[in-house]
Structure 1
Amino acid sequence: MTRMLIVGPQGSGKGTQAKLVSEKLGIVAISTGDIFRANIKGETELGQEAKKYVDAGDLVPDSLTNRLVEDRLRWDDAADGFLLDGYPRNRTQAATLDEILARLGVELDVVLELTADTEELTQRLKHRAETEGRADDADETVIRRRLELFENETRPMIDEYKTRNLVKQVDGLGSVDEVNVRIMEALNS
């Protein structure tokens, strides 16, 4: 059983690696974006609430995000392990995740941190904007702001997990396969 998080700055390959790692470990990959989309599409009560924020272009508040994540972690497919991508993003959400997991009677096993050089991330995101049409990845000022937010918001959370000896740090640069090999080696060490 593996219960894990994958964290790293935007462009570090979290989404790609989350899919590969979850398949190799036989656990479900859960992203907050997927949770939002599924609940909005399914017109659940929480989805209707989230839709108001998404439609307005606002961030979904932590209180609602936390409820959506807890609801998703209660599904049968997460009972034997999961890989969370995109949550938690800060120390407050991490503390809430600890409470959620305690209610479920489980603990976090590992936090996989993908690292990458800021310049490389900027180039990756610009390339992604060109090839995948992600307009929000095209503006270098926006990219740098996101990376700054990661350092200010998410880095302290990762540091907290390090004090609990949960973090496995992996270089996110290289081909998808190269990075995946490093991840699997880190998880097996």
Structure 2
Amino acid sequence: MFSGTAGSLNNQLNLPYGFARDLSSGTRYIADYSNHRIMSYLPGSTNGTVIAGGNGSGTSSTQLMNPIGLCFDSSSNSLLIANYGAHNIVRWVLGATSWTLVAGITGSAGSTSTQLNSPMDVTLDSMGNIYVADSSNHRIQFFLAGQSNGTTIAGITAVGGSTSTQLNSPSSVIVDTQFNLYVSDFANHRVQKFLFY
């Protein structure tokens, strides 16, 4: 699949980070961070297809800026993308030519309930609610389905630390069927579990 050399050809990546998979088709999706695009790979393929971004780094709705985390949403046949450099979470419906904003204020880092600061990961629960690893704010933000005003459910906004209630640059988040959170607490070198709140 990959050439082993950084580049922007269809069989190359440049600092790949996030990975998601469509379980029904086996299609794999990769956040190609430094190429500002999302690549799609069919089972057994050695060449990928650009399915989101790929139009240079930027904040327009046809561009991505250092995409880093991915989540495939089968209910809407779309990808949720943690758009690290643009400080937002966007939804890119497969086959579309642009994204729609889900959370954050595009191009504006901040710590209010409607802002994000360098989000690194995004995931969904079974009800379509969204969880964001808001890395530089040292918190996990929770967004009810369809809402852009978030609630901090783990960590303390803008306060990095190592106590049991703090996070330090969380880089990944997942939620289980019981709505417990598991957070990769990057700078604390640990994984934190937060029970259903």
Give the structure-2-normalised TM-score. 0.29
Higher relative contact order (CA 8 A, sep 6+): 1
Structure with bigger helix share is 1
Structure with bigger strand share is 2
Give the structure-1-normalised TM-score. 0.29
